[in-house]
Amino acid sequence: MVYKCTGCKRVVEIDSEYGGVRCPYCGHRVLLKERGTIIKRVKAE
């Protein structure tokens, strides 16, 4: 899964087997999940 570090703003890829969540570049523990660019429109009723 691809995440973005809130400390150094680098893109970080976390392995599913690795138990911890930490940026390998700066050690920051807050990572944001990257969202897709597709906008999904839902018809309201």
Q: Structural domain boundaries of the chain? A: 1-45
Predicted confidence (pLDDT) per residue in 1-45, tens digit: 789 999 999 998 887 666 678 888 998 999 998 877 898 899 998
What pLDDT, on the 0 to 100 scale, is given for residue 6?
A: 93
- Give the integer Cα–Cα distance in Å for 1 and 34: 9
What pLDDT, on the 0 to 100 scale, is given for residue 43?
A: 92
- Domain 1-45: which CATH class? mainly beta
pTM value?
0.63
Residue position matching structure tokens 């899964």: 1
What pLDDT, on the 0 to 100 scale, is given for residue 19?
A: 64
